[in-house]
Structures are given as structure tokens and as C-alpha cells.
Structure 1
Amino acid sequence: GGDVTLRPIAGTKRRGRNQSEDKALAKELLMDPKERSEHVMLVDLGRNDVGRVCRYGTVKVSELMVIERYSHVMHLVSNVQGRLKRNLDQYGLLKACFPAGTVSGAPKVRAMEIIEELEPTARGPYAGALGYFSFSGNMDTCIIIRTIIVKDGFAHIQAGAGIVADSNPRKEYQETMNKARALTRAIEMAEEGLE
């Protein structure tokens, strides 16, 4: 036990309409200075979070900026790994790493203060965590993003994008819409199945 893996996911492109376009978009994503900069910032934040609770010398980035493809988007993903300090458990690990830098930004504490000042309503479960703790000491969590909250007969979709100094507002908005597309499609499929 004691192995820690944190997977920063940041940097997004829509999926291509065919294999050739998909490959070209993946290359664009890997070469985009803004997306790379945002991703490296979050990897560094992840290394810092993991480093606070892991044994000295065990923290490493085992994968850096690998493309992962999903139904409607592709992402840059990295793995930050370490070995948990002997006097800590999975609860201490979650406390050190939550909320994830992907949804808070950096520096984490100040970014969370700014979010508190700017966002008029609570996020609800969005940007929280869902997962499990086992009696054997294992833990696996994921960030609650791209969510559908159904309340009073209405479906509320939540999705977002990371904003950094050189973000383009139109591109960030489009990224959010690309991410939400899978959710709207899920609702459409559910409605079709009910008829």
C-alpha cells in the first residue's frame, strides 16, 4: 500500500470528424502553448500537493501530456506518483489534494478565495469529488465535472474550462460547449429511449 497516483487533466480539444482530423487536432493540442502552459501549471500544483504527503524522493511525473480521447473531446493527461508517508492514510492524502488544482487554479488558496468572491451561487456537487475509501486503505476518487443535476423536472448541465492569463474567451466558451455536448447527447438519448 501507500502508492499515490494523481492524474492532472488539463488541455482540451474537440474530437475530429474522422481519424485524420482527430490526429491533426491531437497534434494541435500537444503544440498549443496556452494548453501546455496550463497543463504544466497543474502538474506542478499536483507535484506540490502529492509532495506534502509523500516520502521524500518518491514524487515523480511518470507520464507527461499524454493524449486521452473521450466521446466528444480529447485531453492532455499526466501522472504524478509518490509513496505516502508512513504516518498518513488516504484521508490525509485527500485533504492534501482536495480540491484538485484542475478546478481551483493556482496558487490554490488564493484562487479559491477569488472563486468565492466571483461566483454568485454555490457550485453544488460540481468540482467536488466522488469515490470510495476501502477498509484496506485504498482510495479512488474523481472530480465531479460535466454533471447533470435534475431538479424539479429540469436538467441543469455544468461544465467549465480553465482560465489562464493568455486564455481566449471565445475559445474557452467553445471548449465548455464541446465538453457539455456529451451531456446534452445523453439527455437526448434518454428521451429517445423513453418514447
Structure 2
Amino acid sequence: PAAGATAAFALERPFTPNRDAAGYRESFERVQAWIRAGDCYQVNLALRFTAPFRGDPLDAYSMLRGTDRAPFGAYLPLGDGRALLSRSPERFLAVSSGVVTTEPIKGTRPRAEDAATDRAIAQELAASSKDRAENLMIVDLLRNDLGRNCRPGSIRVEELFALRSFPAVHHLVSTVRGELAPGHSPVALLRDSLPGGSITGAPKRRAMEIIHALEPAPRQAYCGTVFYLDDAARMDSSILIRSLLAEDGELHCWGGGGVVADSACDAEHREIYDKVGGYLRTLESTLR
């Protein structure tokens, strides 16, 4: 390459998870034991996938942009060769004219190439009592979170369990709105609601403690937020799922899902790969 040019992006080895299937099962079973003991109702359990790379992470992000229609995509250079690459489909908190909106995702199924099969999968998800119950747990948690900064009596659930389809997966998405209380700012709302309920669990604090005990690596930016705020107090923000972090010559990608009392380990493990497998395969296409 010419002086000062950046080499083309390429992985040097395939992605490897920080826990194999047996390790995930051990953590899954511990979560379910805590659920049976009454500590929690739902815990979001994640895997981290890592691969060494060379070149410019922005090229990797450009590759990922061609694979989906992520409404909350973001690329943030962080300095010292570090970068955040996010293809998030999930809104965390938005504020416009004092109206607060949050749109949690809970409920996932993989897409199918055959149209009839794909419709059947989507219909099964939309009717799934398990996925609806998971979604409703998080809706209730977020209503409580919004209550810290919204006008009393203003919080309402505008839509429950809407089916939204993306290139790789179908999701169930609910919409909750409220009115920001006088004297409360979008920044206070964001601060008091982090981390998002859809990627922690319920109750939130105990779920976070369990995640800290079970996940072998810190989440770093994963499941945090990227947001903008303008001088008219308009804000929008994402949940940093389907997101990768480039640092120290390695690319980390996380995937997770909510574990509840009637979850099946193999299905939850497979769901992680349904969510991020397409991104991993796209980047692994650079292997030589």
C-alpha cells in the first residue's frame, strides 16, 4: 500500500466463542436454578465471539451494512485503533416534544428462504405464549424505569408484540410511551434507565449481578447505548446489540438472549447464532 494507506480489512482466523456449548449450558442451568429459587424471572445471557484481524474496521462495517436494514446502525472511531461497529435493530429511548418512546425487542426466530416456511415461522413467533411473556416482563420493567422521569399517569403501552422482520430474523417489538415530567431532562431519563431492561433481565439489579457472575468477559460497549441529543431536547438512542468492538488487533462480537423458567438450552444457544451468525459469516468471508 502507499505510504499512509490502510490495508484492506481481513480476519486472520475464524471467530471463536468465549464459551463452548457445554460452558453455555452450565451457565444456563445456573440461571434457571436462580429463577427456581425466586432470585429473578429473566436473565439475558450472552456469548462473546473473537477473531484477530488486520486492516481498517471501517471496511468491516461497510461489509456489514450490506447484510441488513438496521435502523440504528452506527460506526464510532474511539481512538488508538479502537472502533465500535453497531448494526442495532433496537431503539432504547427517544424523546420528541416531551414525548418519550421506548421499543424493547424480546422474541426472535430465524428467517427461512422459502416464503411459505418463513410466514409459518413468523406466525408461530407472533402466537408464542413464551415469547409474549418474556416481552411483557421487559415492558413492565421499562414502564417502571420511565416512571422515574415521566409525568405520573402518562405512561402507556401503545403496542404489544408487533412482528417486525429483518433480513436474518423476525422479532417481537413492543412500544411504550410517556410524557417527560417538568424539570426532567432527556439526559436524566437516559441515565436513570441504563442499562436497558431488554438486555439485562428482571428484576434488573439482580439480573445484572447474575450476568456479572456468569459471563467470563466484560460486555464493554455491548448492550450500552449510542445516542444523539440536539439543542431542542430531541433525543434518540439505540441498544448496542448486533454490535462489535475492534481493539488491540481483535474484533469482538456479542450475542445473547433472555433465559426464563421454560427456556430450552439448545434453543437459546441456537438463537444467539441466529442473531449474529450472518455477521460472523460475512466477516469470515475475508479469510484467505
How far 1:188 sits from its partner (Å)? 4.6
> Unpaired runs of 5+ in structure 1?
none
How far 1:153 sits from its partner (Å)? 3.9
How far 1:76 sits from its partner (Å)? 0.2
2:129 to 33, 54, 63: 33
- The answer on 1:73 being equivalent to 2:156 is no
Q: Map Cα deviations across residues 99-157 of structure 1 (whole Å, 9 max, x no partner).
A: 11111101011111222222232111111111112121111110111222233444322
Cα distance in 1, alignment partners of residues 211 and 252 from structure 2: 20
How far 1:13 sits from its partner (Å)? 0.3
Counterpart of 2:222 in structure 1: which amino acid?
Y
Using CA pairs under 8 Å that are at least 6 residues apart, name the structure with larger relative contact order, 1 or 2: 2
User: Is the deviation greater in 58-67 or in 109-118?
Assistant: 109-118
Aligned to 2:278: 182
TM-score (norm. length: structure 2): 0.63
How far 1:95 sits from its partner (Å)? 1.7
Counterpart of 1:19 in structure 2: which amino acid?
A
How far 1:63 sits from its partner (Å)? 1.0
Cα distance in 2, alignment partners of residues 133 and 91 from structure 1: 8
Q: Is the 8 A contact 1:147 1:183 kept in 2?
A: no
Counterpart of 1:164 in structure 2: which amino acid?
V
2:142 to 40, 46, 62: 46
Cα distance in 1, alignment partners of residues 192 and 225 from structure 2: 13
Cα distance in 1, alignment partners of residues 278 and 149 from structure 2: 36
Aligned to 2:113: 17
TM-score (norm. length: structure 1): 0.92
Q: Map Cα deviations across residues 143-175 of structure 1 (whole Å, 9 max, x no partner).
A: 111222233444322111111111111000110
More helix by share: 1
SS at match of 1:181: helix
Identical amino acids, percent of aligned pairs: 41
Aligned to 1:115: 211
2:186 to 90, 95, 98: 90
Q: CA RMSD in A?
A: 1.7
- The answer on 1:140 being equivalent to 2:251 is no
Aligned length: 192
Going from structure 1 to structure 2, the CA distance change for 1:56 and 1:156 (only over 3 Å counts) comes to same
More strand by share: 2
Which has more radius of gyration?
Answer: 2
> Unpaired runs of 5+ in structure 2?
1-96
Cα distance in 1, alignment partners of residues 282 and 224 from structure 2: 21
How far 1:62 sits from its partner (Å)? 0.8
Q: Is the 8 A contact 1:14 1:178 kept in 2?
A: yes
Going from structure 1 to structure 2, the CA distance change for 1:54 and 1:165 (only over 3 Å counts) comes to same
How far 1:30 sits from its partner (Å)? 1.5
Counterpart of 1:74 in structure 2: which amino acid?
H
Aligned to 1:5: 101
Q: Is the 8 A contact 1:43 1:78 kept in 2?
A: yes
